Structure 1
Amino acid sequence: MSPSSRTPPGATEASDTPSGPDEPPALATIGEFGLIERVTRDRAQPPATLLGPGDDAAVVAQPDGRVVACVDVLVEGVHFRLDWSTPRDVGRKAVAANLADVAAMGAVPTGLLVGLAAPRETPVETLEGLAEGMWAEAGVVGVGLVGGDVAASSTLVVSVTALGSLEGRAPVTRAGARPGDVVAVCGRLGWAAAGLAVLTRGFRSPGAIVDAHRAPTPPYAAGPAAALGGATAMIDVSDGLLADLGHVALESGVRIALRREAFAVPGRLAEIAPALGVDPLDWMLTGGEDHALAATFPAGTALPEGFVVLGAVEEGEGVVVDGEPYAGAAGWEHFT
């Protein structure tokens, strides 16, 4: 991580009013460089990191010669609430959203860059927990946090950029679906939406449902496996299955037809849905942030492990369920 360009050389961001002896230290008491040192010290980098934090930029090995790159921004009060999630959960969630995007291209992650903006009064332990979660999720796929930047802000904002390698393969884009393909999904659907519904109503259980909203568990390995298995198009389900398959339909110039009977509603979702007055299938069709992978494959292809067929690709446009457009919002969209 490099210091912010807004910080003059030799300047310090230490507060004139440090925390009291019985209070946990705030960001203002340790400053920008103190924070960087705390979140990077004693962290092992994988072999792909040729030069990690501490210089003007990191150096990451990319034997393929091409770099897959994506970025996600999480804003407190919009994407997470610290009264619902621990800082560690938020760190995991921020990294997971990006690693899933890399997987959706059929690539494997090689490194992560982190941008952090936080109020001066933010407790240091909050930021250390955030970093701990990031490192933990990065470790799931064997990559490291190779660099980034920090700055002062009125709101806690976390931005993560992920880098990936295609390992010699062509990227699997949203534009390759063809009529006759099957549509399949790997990973959980509707769990994060159910967890959000539970939290919104003031409850904190069932734990498995709530935890699905706090920190998703995407099927990272399924992305490269789908690419090797002949996937013609693929997308990370971040905003809702219908909404994200809508992007595939638009970019590929096709219609995607899903069948309700193909969806196996998990028992946990079926148990809590009546108490919340929700059809659990609505969560599965429109709920985001589980970061499942949806892909299309030529008919007759032996699907990679974990993928379940939910429909087919047809001539036409848009996404339909049992032959009809879905009534209601297809998923999350900012600014609407």
Structure 2
Amino acid sequence: MAYQAGGRDPADSRDRRTVADLGEFGLIKRVTEGRVQPGSTLLGPGDDAAMVAAPDGRVLASTDVLVEGVHFRLDWSTPEQVGRKAAAVNMADIAAMGAAPTALLVGLCCPPDTPSLVAEGLAAGLWAEASAAGAGVVGGDVVSGPAVVLSVTVLGDLRGREPVTRSGARPGDRLAVAGRLGWAAAGLAVLRRGFRSPVEVVGAQRVPTPPYAAGPVAADAGATAMIDVSDGLLADLGHVALASGVALDIRADAVPLASRLVEVAAALGADARRWVLTGGEDHALAAAFPAGTVLPEGWVEIGSVASGAGITVDGRPYVGVAGWDHFAPS
């Protein structure tokens, strides 16, 4: 397990401790002590269960699991970056329902010889990303296992809105996206080639930047369906098409494509447009809006909804893999 201490003095005795040295409760104390919770946290870590305010009367909940070697590598990312990613991928699901994240519950599995600074870094990243979105880390569990695994459950508050599901798109709606697409896929391609730059591209793979506020804004603007783009734009919009019983058509040239990605693709002999259409892990949001709706700031129209089934690009079926599937044949 590779880990860069991020500027801390390696002579610091804490740098040589493992999670086994700290023990379960010593580790929990280390990663929770002195943390500031948002007002929605009525009772945080330290008891048998946390208590979180739910003024709406309804609570959204979503879970993601990140496994070392599958979702992250500690020779590619710092523990803090992995922690931020684990929080971000979960909170993006809440934003995709038109809600705001309020609390995270975290399960950490790691080998006993894991450096304590790795666990502390993971926790620091989780707290930082949660705090930036107005949420708190309210509890969880720590166990021993053969690899580093983070399981995060996020709770969310609709604040009086109705949830925006995948099943509400209707013929005549407009398709739009908010957030970056293709950047994380480009970063992954760069890292796989053994490079660590361009920094902004590699950084997109290490830590996604979901547009959390765009979800509630879209809900307020009348979005009929919405989804977090985690596995690829075409793959995830395919879920919307299936759930809504409609056909979706994407205009390839309307999907935002950053010039930086074009440059990186040219250097690697890759297809930047494919990254944008099928690359996952950016956690942008995609939504359908009724015809005539003025799209909120930050949302870009990319296609349309019609009667029928499935998803097309420029009116034709897409040739190739539409996105990531954990259980697809390799």
Q: Tell me whether the two structures share a fold, i.e. TM-score over 0.5.
A: yes
**Distance in 1 between the 2:31 and 2:14 partners?**
23
Question: Residue 15 of structure 2 contacts residue 115 of structure 2 at CA under 8 Å; is this kept in 1?
Answer: no
Is the alpha carbon distance of 1:73 and 1:134 closer, same or farther for their aligned partners in structure 2, counting shifts above 3 Å? same
Question: Residue 15 of structure 2 contacts residue 117 of structure 2 at CA under 8 Å; is this kept in 1?
Answer: no
State, as a whole percentage, how many aligned pairs show the same letter.
67
- Give the one of 234, 250, 272 matched to 1:258: 250
**Distance in 2 between the 1:57 and 1:264 partners?**
44
Q: Scaled by the length of structure 1, what TM-score is found?
A: 0.93
**What runs of 5+ residues in structure 2 fail to find an aligned partner?**
1-11
Quote how far apart the aligned CAs of 1:277 are. Answer: 1.5
Pair 1:116-2:113 in alignment = no
For 2:158, the equivalent position in structure 1 comes to 166
Pair 1:100-2:92 in alignment = yes
Pair 1:38-2:30 in alignment = yes
Pair 1:332-2:315 in alignment = no
For 1:311, the equivalent position in structure 2 comes to 303
**Distance in 1 between the 2:304 and 2:243 partners?**
16
For 2:120, the equivalent position in structure 1 comes to 128
Aligned residue pair count: 317
Query: AA paired with 1:186?
Result: A
Pair 1:137-2:102 in alignment = no
1:41-100, Cα deviation, whole Å (9 max, x unpaired): 000111110000000000000011100000000000000000000000000000000110
**Distance in 1 between the 2:64 and 2:326 partners?**
13
Quote how far apart the aligned CAs of 1:203 are. Answer: 0.5
Could you list the structure 1 runs, at least 4 aligned residues long, displaced by more than 2 angstroms after superposition: 20-23
For 2:226, the equivalent position in structure 1 comes to 234
For 1:148, the equivalent position in structure 2 comes to 140
Quote how far apart the aligned CAs of 1:279 are. Answer: 1.5
Query: AA paired with 1:127?
Result: A
Is the alpha carbon distance of 1:103 and 1:22 closer, same or farther for their aligned partners in structure 2, counting shifts above 3 Å? closer
Quote how far apart the aligned CAs of 1:171 are. Answer: 0.4
Query: AA paired with 2:65?
Result: V
Pair 1:90-2:82 in alignment = yes
**Distance in 1 between the 2:72 and 2:210 partners?**
18
**Distance in 2 between the 1:330 and 1:66 partners?**
34
Question: Residue 183 of structure 2 contacts residue 201 of structure 2 at CA under 8 Å; is this kept in 1?
Answer: yes
Matches within 5 A, 1:60-99: 60-99=52-91
For 1:218, the equivalent position in structure 2 comes to 210
Query: AA paired with 1:145?
Result: V
For 1:322, the equivalent position in structure 2 comes to 314
For 1:275, the equivalent position in structure 2 comes to 267
Quote how far apart the aligned CAs of 1:21 are. Answer: 6.4
**Distance in 2 between the 1:255 and 1:321 partners?**
11
Question: Residue 14 of structure 2 contacts residue 117 of structure 2 at CA under 8 Å; is this kept in 1?
Answer: no
- Give the one of 31, 34, 50 matched to 1:58: 50
SS in 1 for 2:134: coil
**Distance in 2 between the 1:266 and 1:217 partners?**
15
**Distance in 1 between the 2:15 and 2:137 partners?**
29
Is the alpha carbon distance of 1:153 and 1:305 closer, same or farther for their aligned partners in structure 2, counting shifts above 3 Å? same
